[in-house]
Amino acid sequence: MPTLKPVITIDGPSASGKGTVAALVADKLGFHYLDSGALYRLTALYALRESVNWEDALGVARLAAQLPAAFRDGKVWLDGNDVSAAIRAEDIGMGASKVAALPEVRAALLERQRAFLVPPGLVADGRDMGSVVFPRAELKVFLTASAEVRAERRYKQLIAKGESANLDRIQLDISERDARDAARAVAPLRQEPDARLLDTSALTIDQAVDQVLAWFAAV
């Protein structure tokens, strides 16, 4: 019999907490974890460092295809340098949203994402994991929260790291990114018909993780 490689996809908007939930679910199941957003953030950072405009579709796609990236020791590496913190900067997040809207870039990264699916299984988070990258996933989750709650979470994260932050500006950025991600022509952000909706506005991280695990156990 073939080796089973089940997939759980967790899609959702920016700052919804999907990355935290996905990583914890993967840890509890002993599965591998794919942070697809990190690949787009790495691409945006790489383009910035190589002086390639984020709107240059062919230029950014070329960089994405040869992205010298690695995920090891719990860190993200670009060309041999630890960029775990650098890719989480707000401007790189906005850049990631812009390059992710380019069909050429998404095509360049598609097979790279699928290569993460190895035994015993995978938990993948992003915006099109269940719709495009792993359309036959055993469990698809669309994880979200209100824009107000997501902005407050992001604000607290930045303050905790000692960075300056403006709550109103963060909420505006999140709303603009939601609109851009939902309106893009290729792989728009949306809840798939076969995806389970998980609104975390009033949930703790543990409650969200437990719900995903319960759904997967019932598959």
Residue 51 has phi, psi (to 5 degrees) of: 60, 40
HSE value, Cβ hemisphere, 13 Å, CA-based, for 89: 11
Please state, as a whole number, how many other Cβ atoms lie within 10 Å of the Cβ of residue 173.
19
18 is in an annotated binding site: yes
Using CA of residue 68, residue 73, residue 76, residue 78, what is the dihedral sign?
negative
97 annotated as a binding-site residue: no
- Cβ-Cβ contacts under 8 Å for 53 (sequence gap 6 or more): 47, 59, 60
Annotated binding residue 14? yes
Q: Any binding-site annotation on 12? A: yes
Q: Is 9 annotated as a binding residue?
A: no
- Distance between CA atoms of 70 and 122, rounded to whole angstroms? 17
75: annotated binding-site residue?
no
Run of H or E residues at 214: helix 205-217
CA dist., res. 184 & res. 162, Å (int): 34
182 known member of a binding site: no
d(Cα 204, Cα 202) in Å, to the nearest integer?
Answer: 7
Residue position matching structure tokens 């990355």: 19
Annotated binding site: 12-20
Annotated binding site for ATP: 12-20
